[in-house]
Amino acid sequence: MNGQIAASLLPPAAVFLPLLGALAVVPLSRISTRGRAAGVIGVTVATAGVVLTMIPGVLGGTVYSAFVLKMAPNIWMRFAVDPLGMLFASTVAVLWLLAAVYSQGYMADEHKQNRYYIFFMLSLGWTLGVAFAANLFTLLVFYELFSILTYPLVIQEETPEALAAGTKYIIYILIGGSLLLPGVVLTYWLAGTQTLMQAGILTIDMTRVGLLAVFWCFMAGFGVKAAIMPLHGWVPDAHPAAPAPFSALLSGVMVAAGSFCMARVLLNVFGLELLKALGMLDYVGYLAAITVLLAAVLAISQDNLKRRLAYSTISQMAYVVLGLSLLGRLASEGALIHIANHAFMKGTLFLCAGIIIKKTGRHNISEMAGVAHRMPLTAAALTVAVLSMIGTPPLSGFVSKWYLGLGILQVQRPLYLVVLLGGALLAAVYLLPIVYTLYLKKAPQYEEDENEEGHSGGQPEPAHAGANPGPRRIPEAPWSMLGPTIAGAALTVALGVLAWVPGLPLSLAKLVAETLLK
């Protein structure tokens, strides 16, 4: 990691504040649910504040560093905040804050709320530990902690579907984790260090067999979390099963963590020159391109809203891996800003899905006809996120794909431009029908009759026995849910229109590219 090293308590404070919040959940809940809500939101706000205060220093070249615990000779648990870590951490902190507020409305009538909030807070801290890890040992510890401790959130609803999804999730995660440990050990054996440095810690004069073993251990291990096909199997089940606020985090942050760790390993363990010499990134790029297109095709056939969005996540996050595999500055900038931009686009979509499902009881897109007329603000937020996902200017999704497209042309790989454009077209095919159904598809006649009677003050007659009642005439969600959803949509707009503002993802991505891809 380059830059002026500054010893600071800010990185460990950001990581361990959520741990204190988790410890306070049960005592606060015994006072009142409002006390617990204030505690959870307050700690999340404080954590976000600590993270965001480091952005000016990072942009100025400061690397905030803290040695936390000596585990063995030459092995420390250590944090260091550089531009790459800050890009991911700021995304995590802000999206988690939106999910924390949203959870107060969504979880109000759900069971085992204390368990949910405890693991919700723990997962925040461990994810920030991944973002700020200064060496492979710290990265491995926090990556495994947040991977395993998110299991209770996946199975929170304890339905048969949720339990089955949780089982699949933990199997995939354990398999991925079993590949990461030998990767870390082999790296230490080859390099004699595990510190994440600018130029990489492995060199071409090391044994090629060992280098290839390290490369594929990391790519496969982190590829499970990044949902690169064929390692994606947990995503389509876990996203629909989890509560909506955690589905937003699964899609916006958890899958992105795999892509972030791949970026960290490629840029800080291998380095640009060694990656070119090994010549293995072409194969990673091929897998990512296949994932972009195939996952998008599979999304088209999904009627379940959250399952369609889950396949969209698999497709969209593959853009990150594809951009990184090209080893170009512009493509890497596009890949890195897509981590942040996708988090808020897809997070907003899952928050909208949670509102619609919670208020109507409908999980399938085909059952959501006319919902926009009953929930206009929710539908508007969803539409903004959909347009951004497709790549409509000037929204954030356009910025990501613009840089990816320029990067593809820069390295002269025109076939990947076909993949980029094909993925955008397929995104329109599987996302725009959702908007059409909400706005333009006519609600069933019996529902319209019921609404008219409701307006005139009469009592609607019950629907015919066995008939599908359709979505009832309902108000918008409470502001505890609607506010974060609108904020997510607003961020989706702001990260496009104001992409050039210092401190936003584009400035951090450019700084990463300037220092690590010379």
276 pLDDT above the threshold of 60: yes
Dihedral sign, CA of 427, 429, 431, 432?
positive
Q: How far apart are CA 416 and CA 330, in angstroms?
A: 14
264 pLDDT above the threshold of 60: yes
| Chain-centre distance for alpha carbon 59 | 23
Q: Provide the pLDDT for residue 447.
A: 52
Question: Which residues, in sequence order, are bridge partners of residue 62?
Answer: 4
For the segment 203-214, what is each residue's pLDDT rounded down to a tens digit?
Answer: 898 899 999 999
Range of weakest confidence among 2-11, 94-103, 479-488: 2-11
For the segment 333-344, what is each residue's pLDDT rounded down to a tens digit?
Answer: 999 999 999 999
Instruction: Tell me what the mean pLDDT of segment 399-427 comes to.
Output: 95
For the segment 12-37, what is each residue's pLDDT rounded down to a tens digit?
Answer: 999 999 999 999 999 988 888 899 99
Q: How far apart are CA 102 and CA 32, in angstroms?
A: 18
Q: How far apart are CA 271 and CA 233, in angstroms?
A: 30
Instruction: Tell me what the mean pLDDT of segment 114-127 comes to.
Output: 94
For the segment 498-507, what is each residue's pLDDT rounded down to a tens digit?
Answer: 999 999 999 9
Strand duo 4-7 + 62-72: pairing: parallel
90 pLDDT above the threshold of 90: yes
Q: How far apart are CA 401 and CA 388, in angstroms?
A: 10
Q: Provide the pLDDT for residue 474.
A: 58
450 pLDDT above the threshold of 50: no
Q: Which two tokens mark 374?
A: 């009953």
Question: What average pLDDT is seen over the chain?
Answer: 89
Q: Provide the pLDDT for residue 465.
A: 41
Burial 119-138 (b: 16+ CB within 10 A, else e): bbbbbbbbbbbbbbbbbbbb
pLDDT band at residue 462 under the 50/70/90 scheme: very low
Per the listing, tokens 């710290």 go with 138
Q: Provide the pLDDT for residue 125.
A: 95
Q: How far apart are CA 409 and CA 328, in angstroms?
A: 10
Percent share of the chain, pLDDT over 70: 93
Contact predicate 455/387, CB 8 Å: no
Q: Provide the pLDDT for residue 111.
A: 84
Q: Provide the pLDDT for residue 460.
A: 39
Q: How far apart are CA 290 and CA 55, in angstroms?
A: 35
Q: Which helix (H) or strand (E) holds 345?
A: helix 329-360
Of 8, 56, 63, give the one whose Cα is nearest residue 268: 63
Of 145, 273, 143, 264, give the one whose Cα is nearest residue 196: 264
Residues whose CB is less than 8 angstroms from the CB of residue 432 and which lie 6 or more positions away in sequence, other chains included: 386, 390
Instruction: Tell me what the mean pLDDT of segment 410-438 comes to.
Output: 95
Percent share of the chain, pLDDT over 90: 75
Q: How far apart are CA 512 and CA 493, in angstroms?
A: 24
| Chain-centre distance for alpha carbon 437 | 26
For the segment 302-356, what is each residue's pLDDT rounded down to a tens digit?
Answer: 999 999 999 999 999 999 999 999 989 999 999 999 999 999 999 999 999 999 9
Q: Provide the pLDDT for residue 445.
A: 53
Q: How far apart are CA 364 and CA 225, in angstroms?
A: 26
